[in-house]
Amino acid sequence: MHLIETRDLTYVYPGGVTGLDGVNFIAPRNARIAVIGANGAGKSTLFKHFNGIMKPTSGQVLVHGEPITRANIREVRKMVGVVFQNADDQIFSPTVEQDVAFGPTNLGLDEETVQHRVQEALRMVGMEDRATRVPHHLSGGEKKRVAIAGIIAMEPQVLVLDEPTAGLDPQGVSDLVGFINSLSRTYGMTVIFSTHDVSLVPEIAEYVYVMGGGKIVARGNMSDIFEKDELLTSVRLDLPCIPKLIRSLWEHGIEIDMAYTQKDAESAFLRAFRGSG
């Protein structure tokens, strides 16, 4: 049984525009999944179906094998945490502490547990010293971390991040990559994220869905996706920096193994240059 599964999910906006068109998506336990696609591809619309914020026009969304209903919606939202693209949409309480406590309080937890979860969530995102700050005094990156802490405090099994690196500086992106990977590896959380930044995908994800025009146009691991130039061009995306560089070296006759992550690339380059030296 998969944590999240959609079957022929279709959503038509009230204006008649098709947001999703027969999407079949599977998120197994402890997976790290990237959903990539151009603007308007349907990524955010898909994510809003994962915890019942949007209701399908047709098709099904199954969480733990069960369709989302009014009876289980609370349980589903506890299980599937969605972090929105703009942190200002998500931080609605007057202080950081109160905002992170909003979800746990709604779960009916006692004050001591709420406080413990808030401290733990803020510690995980490195914001424990800013609990009493007001949100409008935080930087974009800090707001993003508070928004994530607000979801983590609910202890979801699946963390869904819509464009998590939008508006972050390079250090902020690097911190976020490390943090998301630790969530998956240390806490066994399933992570699903969308991004335009294709270079980020191999650093976090192990599986990729490519969306275009409200449909899933491709799915697979890194090599399945990033070896298809036509596919990437058709969805207005580019190859990540590392495989792009390696391909360029191939054209100059340098033999080097293909790599997608920085760590794999380092090994591949060392092997190639030590071998040639």
Partner 1 sequence: MIEDLFLIEKQTYRDSFIHRLDARVKIIISFAAIIAMVAVPYSTTVYSVGSLLIIFFLVLWVFSRLPPSVYIWRLVMVLPFGIFIIVAQIFFTNPHYAVFHPIVTLPLNIHIYAESIEFATILLVKFLVCISFIILLSSTTKMQDLLEGAGRLGFPPEFSLIMGLMIRYLFVFAYMYRKVTEALETRCFNPLSREIPWKYRIRMLGYTIGTMFVRAYEQGERTYYAMLCRGYDRDSRLFIRKKPLVPGDWCFLVCGMVVVVAAPILVWFDIIRLI
Interface ranges with partner 1 (CB under 8 A): 48, 51, 53, 74, 77-78, 81-82, 84, 86, 88-95, 97-98, 101-107, 111, 114-115, 118, 134-136, 150-151, 154
C-beta of 136 vs 274, nearer to partner 1? 136
| 102 to 73, 107, 137, 140, 189: CA distances (angstroms) | 17, 9, 19, 20, 21
C-beta of 93 vs 261, nearer to partner 1? 93
DSSP state of 30: T
Contact (CB, 8 A) for 226 and 240:
yes
In order, the DSSP letters of 202-225 are: HHH-SEEEEEETTEEEEEESHHHH
Nearest to 122 by CA among 94, 158, 160, 151: 151
C-beta of 151 vs 201, nearer to partner 1? 151
Is the Cα torsion angle 50, 53, 58, 62 positive or negative in sign?
positive
C-beta of 76 vs 168, nearer to partner 1? 76
C-beta of 92 vs 250, nearer to partner 1? 92
Closest distance to partner 1 from the beta carbon of 109 (Å) = 10
| 76 to 24, 62, 253, 254: CA distances (angstroms) | 19, 10, 53, 51
**Rg, C-alpha atoms of the chain:** 20
Q: What are phi and psi of 70, to 5 degrees?
A: -60, -30
Closest distance to partner 1 from the beta carbon of 48 (Å) = 7
C-beta of 160 vs 239, nearer to partner 1? 160
Closest distance to partner 1 from the beta carbon of 90 (Å) = 4
- Helix-strand-coil split of the chain, %, nearest 5: 45, 20, 35
Closest distance to partner 1 from the beta carbon of 77 (Å) = 6
C-beta of 108 vs 277, nearer to partner 1? 108
Closest distance to partner 1 from the beta carbon of 107 (Å) = 6
Closest distance to partner 1 from the beta carbon of 18 (Å) = 20
Closest distance to partner 1 from the beta carbon of 188 (Å) = 21
Residue 54 CA from chain centroid, whole number: 18
